[in-house]
Structure 1
Amino acid sequence: MIDYRKKATVPVWTLATGDVRVPAVTGDEPMTAERLAELRGVLAALANEPIATLEVHPLPGKLDRSRGIPLDAVSPLAQNLSQLVTQSARSSSTAAATAAGEGLFRMVVPAKVAAQFGQGIVRPMAAKGAAGVIRGPLVDSSGKIVGAAKFVPVGKAAAAGAVGGAGATAGVAAAGSAALTVAAPLVLMAIAVGVSANADAKRQEAIVHITELLEQLHEQKLEDERSELDGCRDAIDKATAILLDQGKLGVSLGLDSAVHAINTALGRADHRLARWRSALGKLPDGEPVEIGTLTESFPGVDDHGGTFRAHLELAALAVALKRRVNVLQAVEHAQSEPDNLFGNFTRALKRDQQRLGELESGIAGVLVRLSALELARPNSLRPVFTTGEVDRLLRATHRIHQLGDGVTINSHTTDVAIEIARDKDGSVVVFPALPA
């Protein structure tokens, strides 16, 4: 958690991904957090190129770096960030204090741009043991950013460098305010690493859930599915490291095999979703359903574990891995045409998001419909039920109704925040992208 009372002034850069013209809406005066949020909305609405904001805060004393992706000081993202801060310090006393030191940078990409990444790619992740708390270094115990700081615009700065080693646009945009800086490589790499870290966090969460379920089920086929998917991580991690260091992907990485395994798993998920929808379609409308009838198509749905829940987690794992691969492919496309970095990135990433969005939305619809079902009393010749039968019915009802908890269908796209911890040596750790 950041205590803004320790540092009342927060430098803020407005970063464009192309040469844009917008009215002079930023100014030079300090802003509140609310005013900064309004400014982002105005810039997103008026500019024809994506515009992000970048803040820098003191680095927290306790920071769980294991959740992020580390990059050394010579990586493109770290270099672009260092160059932005160094050049800004020449003309801004506000930015000068951060030029050589450590800090926690927070880039916010507007919802208008975040929608291009694919619906559902960035969602809140609840912290363990704290319901409703969103993971992230900048949030307080209520999950909100406290707003006692003064956000001061930093102007007349240019971010140099480019992804792929080619010269990208860099400089002050042709805008009504000199505080608008063209920094496409920095924005691109921050989004790429933040989204990749977000997908990997979801992969880790899915693996934990699947492992717990399989320990109860002892299902070898499901164990094989889990192992095959988790085995893709090594190739994806290596490909991520190579691309983020401006390298070229080769067949020796095994990424093609990993993609095949992930696509196979997504095919299984599609097939299972079709079966679930068909089973729900055969249930009588508005009538209670017996547990036995429900478990024929959804085995273990009334239990804490169960095959159905394992299938859900396997689908979530496949989606998370596919999202990481999609980001890699998008970065590779952007690097191949450095004069059109951000456009190539968003187009490549958006193409493959539709299928994943439809799969997630379909599964969410099944869970919502299951959670709304009314369970019938089991057929019996006996006039009364045993205590065990009553307890089972109550437990099953509770667990089935819980399936709809936290499920989001067609969620509203929000601004996306990407937090970057920068050390004194220039190395960075990029944390999972979160809703701003």
Structure 2
Amino acid sequence: MTEDRKAIVPVWTLATGDVRGPALTGDEPMTAERLAELRGVLAVLADEPIATLEVHPLPDQLDRSRGIPLDAASPLAQHLSQLITQSARNSSVAATATAASEGLYRMVVPAKVAAQFGQGIIRPMAAKGAADGIRGALVNSTGSIVGQPTFVPVGKAAAAGAVGGAGATAGVAVAGSAALTVAAPLVLMAVAVGASANADYKRQQAIEHITELLEQLHEQKLEDEHSELDGCRDAIDKATAILLDQGKLGVSLGLDSAVHAINTALGAADRRLARWQSALDKLPDAKPVEIGTLTKSFPGVDDHGGTFRTHLELAALAIALKRRVIVLQAVEHAQDDPDNLFENFARALKRDQQRLDELESSIAGVLERLSALELAGPQGLRPVFTTGEVDRLMRAANRIHKLGDGVMVNSRTTDVAIEIARNKDGSVVVFPALPM
């Protein structure tokens, strides 16, 4: 997508509580760099989490299949519609930008706030055809916003309160920060759907990899493990739809049995991780490792397929499914306590994320250690290797060294962008949350 460099983009500053914040926004036009600085200052100085919301023209070509659709009656869509309607009454810039009733809304949550969600819930998504790229509706293959529009704050915007649901925290923030619109339900719902879409994208990636690996392995036990995990999707999808419409979860959904299957898979991942770490610890320091020795503990590590790589993808699938469940549980917590909405959400999410973050980080550590190993050929009485043995060793070394590519251990928390496509009928599609 290319965006007009002279475009005027309205931007709201959204608070998640009735806060006393610094009067920094004003109503003067600003650059993207200035807006980023402002977000950082607000995150540090404001009493409650602050997010910004921009509205851009809807791109001509937009892959909506990556996102989660919500109809116009859903709370998120109604919160957004109310913000648009009430803001247009007080701001000609907002009125002009939202007149078409459709657009691409971009909510940016500062790193300080994003850290509350755990380090692993939002990670870069590799774009096809771009090794290090991040794919998003408003970003190019390098992760940068295309074009240089001018951002204009929407001052004294009316609040986006709850519409037809619990958790209303509405109103313009108190004196000293009149441009801060209190919109906790809107921020919470956007973060929740964006995080859920992100986790589901990772689930899809893991499913694709597992399917390809199992076609090569013909391993029934791993097939069963995969089928049981993939069977959890239906219950999680239904629970997501119900909670995002602010309904109540019931036993008939089957979410309890899905959570049990996911926890069982995570337990298997923990046990396998312990075996991998133990096997690496037993290897001699600073000495080449015979390929045969390595494949005993990591079967198939030297090949495209193999049991080890399937175990990695099964762990990734279980983690992705668990992250979706945790988001649902956090939303449910927040909705049960309307007066403490965003704080409950962030607290529940962070607490339960820690185990997954540690598991994911530990698996990444194993891959880094494997990728750094120096390999040796088969040991025997023969003084030279055959051509086939040399070729196998070179292929194995190349594949094992690539295990460390793209591994992120204790990645730095960044600002998080959540993009929402709004249609003319008020329905929305929320795309996976992306680090900036």
- Normalising by structure 1, we get a TM-score of 0.98
Q: 1:336 and 1:313 mapped to 2: Cα distance?
A: 35
The residue number in structure 1 matching 2:314 is: 314
Q: Offset at 1:379? A: 1.0
The residue number in structure 1 matching 2:101 is: 101
Q: 1:95 and 1:163 mapped to 2: Cα distance?
A: 21
Q: Offset at 1:48? A: 2.0
Assess, with a 3 A threshold, how the Cα gap between structure 1 residues 360 and 114 changes in structure 2: closer, same or farther. same
Q: Deviations over 1:276-310 (max 9, x none)?
A: 00000100111110000000000000111110000
The residue number in structure 2 matching 1:70 is: 69
The residue number in structure 1 matching 2:126 is: 126
> What are the within-5 Å matches in structure 2 for residues 195-344 of structure 1?
195-344=195-344
Q: Offset at 1:371? A: 0.4
The residue number in structure 1 matching 2:35 is: 36
Q: Given that residues 89 and 95 in structure 1 are in contact (C-alpha distance below 8 angstroms), is that contact kept between their aligned partners in structure 2?
A: yes
Q: Which moved more, 1:300-309 or 1:382-391?
A: 382-391
Query: Which letter maps to 2:422?
Result: R
Matched, 1:25 2:24: yes
Q: Deviations over 1:59-116 (max 9, x none)?
A: 0000000000000001000000000011000010010020551000000001111111
Q: Deviations over 1:222-273 (max 9, x none)?
A: 0101100000000000000000011100000000000000000000000000
Q: Deviations over 1:178-228 (max 9, x none)?
A: 211100000000000000000000000000000000000000000101100
Matched, 1:392 2:392: yes
The residue number in structure 2 matching 1:178 is: 178
SS at match of 1:352: helix
The residue number in structure 1 matching 2:419 is: 419
Q: Which moved more, 1:239-248 or 1:376-385?
A: 376-385
Q: Offset at 1:148? A: 1.4
Q: 1:398 and 1:213 mapped to 2: Cα distance?
A: 19
Query: Which letter maps to 1:82?
Result: S
Q: 1:170 and 1:100 mapped to 2: Cα distance?
A: 26
Q: Given that residues 20 and 177 in structure 2 are in contact (C-alpha distance below 8 angstroms), is that contact kept between their aligned partners in structure 1?
A: no
Matched, 1:159 2:159: yes
Q: Offset at 1:143? A: 2.4
Q: Given that residues 364 and 409 in structure 2 are in contact (C-alpha distance below 8 angstroms), is that contact kept between their aligned partners in structure 1?
A: yes
Q: Offset at 1:175? A: 4.3
Matched, 1:409 2:409: yes
SS at match of 1:273: helix
Q: Offset at 1:349? A: 0.8
The residue number in structure 2 matching 1:45 is: 44
SS at match of 1:262: helix
Q: 2:65 and 2:259 mapped to 1: Cα distance?
A: 25
Q: 2:147 and 2:34 mapped to 1: Cα distance?
A: 11
SS at match of 1:11: strand
Q: 1:173 and 1:68 mapped to 2: Cα distance?
A: 31
Q: Given that residues 57 and 103 in structure 1 are in contact (C-alpha distance below 8 angstroms), is that contact kept between their aligned partners in structure 2?
A: yes
The residue number in structure 2 matching 1:383 is: 383
Q: Deviations over 1:301-329 (max 9, x none)?
A: 01111100000000000000000000000
Assess, with a 3 A threshold, how the Cα gap between structure 1 residues 322 and 389 changes in structure 2: closer, same or farther. same
Q: 2:163 and 2:3 mapped to 1: Cα distance?
A: 35
For structure 1, which runs of at least 5 residues remain unmatched after alignment? none
The residue number in structure 2 matching 1:80 is: 79
Query: Which letter maps to 1:87?
Result: Q
SS at match of 1:165: coil
Q: Deviations over 1:366-422 (max 9, x none)?
A: 000000000012212222211110000000100010000000111000011000000
Q: Given that residues 265 and 315 in structure 1 are in contact (C-alpha distance below 8 angstroms), is that contact kept between their aligned partners in structure 2?
A: yes
Q: 2:364 and 2:107 mapped to 1: Cα distance?
A: 30
Query: Which letter maps to 2:140?
Result: D
SS at match of 2:264: helix
Assess, with a 3 A threshold, how the Cα gap between structure 1 residues 237 and 116 changes in structure 2: closer, same or farther. same
Assess, with a 3 A threshold, how the Cα gap between structure 1 residues 21 and 147 changes in structure 2: closer, same or farther. farther
The residue number in structure 1 matching 2:362 is: 362
Q: Which moved more, 1:144-153 or 1:206-215?
A: 144-153
SS at match of 2:132: coil
Query: Which letter maps to 1:4?
Result: D
Query: Which letter maps to 1:267?
Result: G
Query: Which letter maps to 2:358?
Result: E
* Runs of 4+ deviating beyond 3 Å: none
Q: Given that residues 3 and 149 in structure 2 are in contact (C-alpha distance below 8 angstroms), is that contact kept between their aligned partners in structure 1?
A: no
Q: Which moved more, 1:170-179 or 1:383-392?
A: 170-179
Q: Which moved more, 1:148-157 or 1:126-135?
A: 126-135
SS at match of 2:377: coil
Q: Given that residues 105 and 419 in structure 1 are in contact (C-alpha distance below 8 angstroms), is that contact kept between their aligned partners in structure 2?
A: yes
For structure 2, which runs of at least 5 residues remain unmatched after alignment? none
Q: 1:112 and 1:141 mapped to 2: Cα distance?
A: 26
Q: Deviations over 1:346-375 (max 9, x none)?
A: 111111101001100110100000000000
SS at match of 1:379: coil
Q: Given that residues 135 and 141 in structure 2 are in contact (C-alpha distance below 8 angstroms), is that contact kept between their aligned partners in structure 1?
A: no
SS at match of 2:104: strand
Q: Given that residues 418 and 430 in structure 1 are in contact (C-alpha distance below 8 angstroms), is that contact kept between their aligned partners in structure 2?
A: yes
Q: Given that residues 15 and 184 in structure 2 are in contact (C-alpha distance below 8 angstroms), is that contact kept between their aligned partners in structure 1?
A: yes
Compute the RMSD of aligned alpha carbons.
Answer: 1.2
Query: Which letter maps to 1:169?
Result: T
Q: 1:403 and 1:202 mapped to 2: Cα distance?
A: 18
SS at match of 1:158: coil
The residue number in structure 2 matching 1:11 is: 10
Q: 1:275 and 1:283 mapped to 2: Cα distance?
A: 13
The residue number in structure 2 matching 1:55 is: 54
The residue number in structure 2 matching 1:433 is: 433
Q: Which moved more, 1:417-426 or 1:140-149?
A: 140-149
Query: Which letter maps to 1:184?
Result: A
